[in-house]
Structure 1
């Protein structure tokens, strides 16, 4: 942008600035000025362009502030919670590994014990029931508070076996 001050009064709050801009930007400015003139007939072209520049500069300043805040928050969260999250993720992965190993071993033992078709059908039904109860437990609003409230009231070992 080529800046040239034509005249400046001592107490003047404005200065004239001449700029060389691409035709597309000039056309966009003319369109913008025309749209604002429809809303505010008293505003001059110079005032409208000044407002547009002020808004643009304010937006840029806000973007920089938001970017700085974002980086600060990211750093603080990482410092305060990063290690806790990493530990939590590690514990979850160990828990998932142990759970999978346990389920596989149980399935292997059950498959070895129950060889008949009736026994296998019984096991399939109970596995499906266990999956259904597990899914309901996870969806329950009491999952984090009170695990005993999740269990069915009529649940006893006679119903399960």
Structure 2
């Protein structure tokens, strides 16, 4: 039973770490993200450059200005069913100073955040029990009936010899 709990805890810990790394951008957008209007320079269906299986996606090249006036051009990977064409103006979210963080508003990945939250609860639920509870002394029983207790040192009275 303990091995099973340990395996579950280790699996939950691995899922916690991996989902934490994959969901780290969502809190960054929440804390430091800014909004801007962007022009769609190019929008085409293609293969996801970061996917091993080469899934079909919409590759949208966006051009926008940060609030400091700096001009940026970036490509956002969108689901293939998005209605976006070259020449459109869209709202983007970006993190100032990081040219690789711009994304079209609404293109969020909440699944890793949900997995991260679930794994956080699982790690908390499967945490090891406290040492005091785990190492607590339990009274031992003697004999088959289990009625007799083994005396402790504090229970034994020392008789003095005359």
Would you call these one fold, judging by a TM-score over 0.5? Answer: no
Q: TM-score, normalised by structure 2?
A: 0.26
Q: TM-score, normalised by structure 1?
A: 0.26
Instruction: Decide which structure has the larger Cα Rg and report it.
Output: 1
Indicate the structure with greater helix content. 1
